[in-house]
Amino acid sequence: MDHSNGEMPQIEDLDLKATSLLKDWKEVSIPVPWGTIAGKAWGNPCGYPVLGLHGWQDNAGTFDRLAPLLPDKFYFLAVDLPGHGLSSHYPPGMTYAFQDMLLHVKFIFNHLQWKKCSLVGHSMGGAVSMMFGALMPTLVDKIISIDLVKPMGYDTKIHPDKTLRAISSYFDILKKTEGKPPCYTYDEAKRRLLVANAGSITPESADVLMVRGTRKTEEGLYYFSRDLRQTIPGLVSVNNDSLKELLSRIRVPFMIIKGTQGPLYEPEELYNDFINTYNESSPRFEYVKVDGTHHLHLNTPERVASHIIRFLDAPPLAGL
């Protein structure tokens, strides 16, 4: 089922294998020029808005176990970023750029007419939250990043070669998207998802992500619905000096929840340098270590929920 034309499958048509894990929630659809951004919301629609942004190749289901633990006074909206979950894919021939997601968040703000919200992002979603909050502090109350200290930065010396690889990858992936996606039995698709995540998710968490992350064919097989073009490296990279300048503009309360078993994508010394920057720029910065894997919010949400509730509950700082 290709929904690059903007059509979104109806939620009642999906195989909701993990619904026993969920409390009351509502499916949300946000129009964008190329289709829709899909999402799911918990809590009071009149409550304070909190936007949940998932990690790379995951979907809004990554918050299925965490969101129900938050008080109803918050309106928690988790979205499938374009090319993920139930959201529309980009039109044929186009590529995704990391910076596009800043525009996606602004589309959400504009449609829902939010004046301000808090951002909770996991991994890639954490990077988007940091950058959006730094660029548009008047729209963001608080930032929470789950298992990501900083967006990935690249040495300027490797940028030409990285761009060349991205061009080559684009045409390779384009060929693969011309045919039908590979299909698997449910158990085989689940096994592939577990292997790809290298121990970061449990079998139960895989079931949750597969609700929005797979489609069922008429033959009873499953294929992954995410856009394969998401795997094309970005044509443009950002170096760490530019990232540091940008993130030094975070002027709102900011918390990082780091899983003890989560990966370190860059040298720890670089992480510490950025943490020092956050301490200097944010009026209230917290770095919390919690036992768990990269997907600790999905596998063991009770370990992170108390930190998130406490941080979101804290009164706004004077002048913000």
What is the crossing angle of helices 268-281 and 240-247, to 10°? 30
Residue 50 DSSP symbol: E
Do β-strands 140-146 and 48-53 pair in parallel, antiparallel, or remain unpaired?
A: unpaired
Tokens of 304: 């992170």
Per DSSP, the three-state class of 52 is strand
For 24, phi then psi, to 5°, come to -60, 135
Active-site residues: which are they? 123
Per DSSP, the three-state class of 118 is strand
* DSSP conformation letters of 64-97: TTTGGGS-TTEEEEEE--TTSTTSPPPPTT----
What is the crossing angle of helices 186-196 and 203-213, to 10°? 110
The Cα–Cα gap between 196 and 247 comes to: 30
The Cα–Cα gap between 156 and 183 comes to: 40
Tokens of 114: 């939010």
